[in-house]
Structure 1
Amino acid sequence: MTTSQLPDAQDALRSLSAAELLEFVEDQHAAKLEAERMLLRAARQWAVLHSPDALPAGDRRGRSRARCAGAEGTPKITEYAAAAFGARMQTSPYGAKRLIADAVDLEQRLPQLHAGIEAGVVRVRNARHVAEATRELTAEEAAWVDGEVAESADGRLSWARFEALVEGKVAAAAPHLAKAREELAQTERFVRMSRVNRHGVATLTIRDHATVIMTAEAAVSQVAKKLEETMPTASRNERRLTAFAALVNPETHTDPAIRAIKPKVSALLHLFPGSPIARLEGHGPVTLNWVRHMLGTVAGKIKVTPVLDLAGQAPVDAYEIPKRLREAVRLIHPADVFPYAANLGRTGDIDHTVPYSEGGPTAIGNLGPMTRTHHRIKTHAGWEARQPWAGIVVWRDPYGAFYLVDSSGTRRVRGAEDGHAMSVDHVHTARIVLDGLAA
């Protein structure tokens, strides 16, 4: 579209109703995603055109300086091929080289993601992230990760959740590499004041084991809580800064209780049978060697909490949600249940899908975590939700669009003929609930 056409386009948009404008947005977004797929295909073809085999027979320098276009073992590409390609995309040769590498790896090493790209289902951003994350893996290890994450690369997961999924699968595919990275991280621990300090304010960066940082955070929070009585008008951040200063130099503080802080830390560690990789909630995958080492260095008592029986959680005859139910809901719903939400925190609301005032029980299957903002949208902005089974939430927006949210993310729900990205069970489940919402 040229600059002279912009006023006409804006006038056309002004003539659309709210529902028509949403359809226009959806169509434009789909066109943008397809354009990204076409650029990825073009990058792959550029690598083909710039194979060293295509050079003149006497061009020895071009052949000697050619490098694998992607991971080790992929076809080679000539040294400066990325420069012209990048210039046409208004990016650097480095940026173009990365795009070409991702395109080649997807075709050569990640067949399921590549097939999803060709089918118009997988998003380029997600696929490229997997290609980059698996570049150090063998072809067999990369193919395993491909099979584990391809279904979730269609945009159903928020970006943070997709990154966490890929990180965990890469660690599980190559635990030796995860161990090597943990060992390398030992050399990257430090306490350092930033060189960029302005207006009399400085930044202190501390990088250490997750358990050390969690303990320090708990200690700061505990002391800040004690300071509420002596600093009633201070903000939370002001009390935390005072608490930090008191902890690093307790002799300057008159309260002897602060010198004897014993912080309690709750670290949620998820173990999987037969896997050498565990997941430290809020921090990511770690090897079992790391777990053994860190538990061996912890001072004080370690409490092991048994696994919750999710199926055996009895409902309660009250609006208030007991702790055991809250924990079960968090395990069933790993993230905020609003469509495409990204929040993974444990401090948000637990919402009754069918309101308690309308007969909705306080029970598994009618509860889901949400941020306060999303909770208010559901309550006041015309959105509706149902849970046909625990862990599956179907939403309808004020304009009649439906979304299915489960542990694998969010999908837009259409008729079965348009549901190629979903299993038959998902479409069937959605239709049952949609009938109830539409009634």
Structure 2
Amino acid sequence: MTAQAYCPDPWTPTAGENARTSALVDRFVELEAQVARARAEQATLLVSLAEIAVEQGRRSGSESEYDFATRSIAAELGAAARIPEGTIRGRMADAVTLVTGFPATFAALQEGRISEPHTRVIVAAGERLDDDSRVEFEGIVVSRAEGVTVGQLRSFARAVAEKIDPVPLTVRQAEAMALRGAWVSPLEHGMAEHRMIGPAATIYAIHDRLTQAATKLKATARAAGEPDPRTLDHIRADVLADLTLTGTPTAGDGLDAIHATIQVTIPVDTITGIGDDAAFLTGYGPIDPDTARRLAGNAATWVRVWQHRDTGALLTVDSYTPTAAQRRFLTARDEHCRFPGCRQPARRCDTDHTIPHSHDGPTTVTNLAHLCQAHHRLKHHSPWRMRQGPDGEIEWTSPTGRTYAHKPTPMVRFDAEAEVLMPDLHLSDEPPPF
């Protein structure tokens, strides 16, 4: 990376604190790798137990006896480990799928390069693929998994599987629609749980509208000098109940005027009806082309994001404020806050100059990035350092001297075949108030 890094003058830990922090981080990472290797060994043992059950079933010559053999072994292991038999049987099945169907993923787990949650994401995304497609899928996804969080991996793995899967998404979407529904389950202490399964675009839009409403209510209460003691989750639940039972949020304050916002990347051939490639819902992954076309058709505006043929980015401007084209490009490139692991959507982040404009930092996409309020404050009020390379990769340096690279999400292609629906962005080069 060749770009300069701006270093503010925040509080600074002592050398002793940095040394101790670094040693503790090393030990924690080492233990995480040990946990992964132990989980891999457990998976191997579970596969061996499943093989014993298969052999016992074959000797009996009865399918029902085979099931009894599996249950018997699961019951014994569950009793010894104090784990429910049903959980053990589920883990045995998962272990067989992982070890036999995803050898590259299992090898990475054995070596401690990825965690068990990473393997679950990979298996869930790639299980539907045939053997040849799965080899290609693992070759792309496993290396990516070694450098990202589970949340970041999930969208990427779904996108890769979508590109490789020979069965069109429209066919799978039609089959999956049969799973939609809503359920209620009783909980203790006078509570209950409501669950809903539906199209991803619909569910994400619902959550976004609830989040906007909750944020607005918190801000209104704070401005009135009467802070709302509820958490955002509390308010989301309350607003959802109001909307469902009354058709409008009863709290007022203009909440009924809030509309959900989602970001969708749509290939140009899909939006024009020439092709049927999947579109991508930010934070989720591929969605079917019919849904994408309906979203584009109902949007107030939609714009194209083009890649500069020479630099791969939009042109620099002399002013402090980025152009509308630059903002659209950055929202498509970043999708989320650019701190490693953060999933705050770009539209709820500040657009920050990596090297501040007041320190001659240019207003170019290679010096602009989205940071959520928490990580924006971290950049300006702690010893964390940030610098950005010409390809949009950001390198963070911690107080202990460790570096963490964050690359833009690769599923979004900045070329003439991309269409993006964008909201307006709040732009700021200064950290937001506490």
TM-score interval, normalised by the smaller of the two chains:
0.5 to 0.7
User: Which AA in structure 2 matches 1:336?
Assistant: C
Give the superposition deviation at 1:350.
Answer: 1.4
CA distance in 2, matches of 1:216, 1:381: 32
Please state whether the residue corresponding to 1:51 is helix, strand or coil: helix
Give the superposition deviation at 1:132.
Answer: 3.8
Moved more, 110-119 or 203-212: 203-212
Give the superposition deviation at 1:354.
Answer: 1.6
CA distance in 2, matches of 1:303, 1:194: 41
Q: Deviation per CA, 1:261-280: give whole Å up to 9, x if none.
A: 89796752333878732213
CA distance in 2, matches of 1:167, 1:89: 34
User: Which AA in structure 2 matches 1:145?
Assistant: F
Q: Deviation per CA, 1:86-134: give whole Å up to 9, x if none.
A: 4555433333334333333333222322332344323232113322443
Listed as ranges, the gaps of 5+ residues in structure 2 are 1-15, 270-274, 411-434
User: Which AA in structure 2 matches 1:164?
Assistant: S
- The answer to whether the 8 A contact 1:384-1:396 is kept is yes
- The answer to whether the 8 A contact 1:52-1:63 is kept is no
1:99 matched residue in structure 2: 91
CA distance in 2, matches of 1:203, 1:57: 40
2:112 matched residue in structure 1: 120
1:241-252 matches, cutoff 5 A: 244=243, 248=247
Give the superposition deviation at 1:358.
Answer: 1.9
Across the aligned residues of Structure 1 and Structure 2, the Cα RMSD in angstroms comes to 4.7
Moved more, 19-28 or 236-245: 236-245
1:328 aligns with 2:343: no
1:23 aligns with 2:23: yes
2:74 matched residue in structure 1: 82
Give the superposition deviation at 1:216.
Answer: 11
Please state whether the residue corresponding to 1:176 is helix, strand or coil: coil
- The answer to whether the 8 A contact 1:197-1:203 is kept is no
CA distance in 1, matches of 2:58, 2:391: 67
- The answer to whether the 8 A contact 1:270-1:280 is kept is no
CA distance in 2, matches of 1:216, 1:340: 20
CA distance in 2, matches of 1:220, 1:209: 19
1:150 matched residue in structure 2: 142
Please point out which of 295, 307, 311 is paired with 2:305. Answer: 307
Please state whether the residue corresponding to 2:344 is helix, strand or coil: coil
CA distance 1:319–1:142, shift in 2 (3 Å): same
CA distance 1:360–1:207, shift in 2 (3 Å): same
1:319 matched residue in structure 2: 320
Percent same amino acid at aligned positions? 21
CA distance 1:129–1:264, shift in 2 (3 Å): closer
- The answer to whether the 8 A contact 1:386-1:395 is kept is yes
Give the superposition deviation at 1:25.
Answer: 3.3
Please state whether the residue corresponding to 2:142 is helix, strand or coil: helix
CA distance 1:403–1:99, shift in 2 (3 Å): same
1:74 matched residue in structure 2: none
1:138 matched residue in structure 2: 130
CA distance in 1, matches of 2:322, 2:139: 38
Please state whether the residue corresponding to 2:405 is helix, strand or coil: strand
Listed as ranges, the gaps of 5+ residues in structure 1 are 1-15, 68-76, 410-439
Please state whether the residue corresponding to 1:131 is helix, strand or coil: helix
- The answer to whether the 8 A contact 1:393-1:405 is kept is yes
2:352 matched residue in structure 1: 351
1:145-224 matches, cutoff 5 A: 145-154=137-146, 156-174=147-165, 176=167, 178-187=169-178, 209=199, 214=205
- The answer to whether the 8 A contact 2:36-2:109 is kept is no
CA distance in 2, matches of 1:211, 1:26: 40
Give the superposition deviation at 1:386.
Answer: 1.5
Report the TM-score when normalising by structure 1. 0.66
1:391 matched residue in structure 2: 392
- The answer to whether the 8 A contact 1:107-1:114 is kept is yes
CA distance 1:51–1:386, shift in 2 (3 Å): same
CA distance in 2, matches of 1:127, 1:249: 42
CA distance in 1, matches of 2:112, 2:349: 35
Report the TM-score when normalising by structure 2. 0.67
Give the superposition deviation at 1:333.
Answer: 2.6
User: Which AA in structure 2 matches 1:36?
Assistant: A
Give the superposition deviation at 1:392.
Answer: 1.2
User: Which AA in structure 1 matches 2:153?
Assistant: F
User: Which AA in structure 2 matches 1:25?
Assistant: V
CA distance 1:54–1:163, shift in 2 (3 Å): closer
CA distance 1:21–1:287, shift in 2 (3 Å): same
Give the superposition deviation at 1:378.
Answer: 1.0
1:426-437 matches, cutoff 5 A: none
Q: What is the total number of aligned residue pairs between the two structures?
A: 371
Please point out which of 245, 261, 269 is paired with 2:265. Answer: 269
Give the superposition deviation at 1:150.
Answer: 0.8
Moved more, 241-250 or 205-214: 241-250
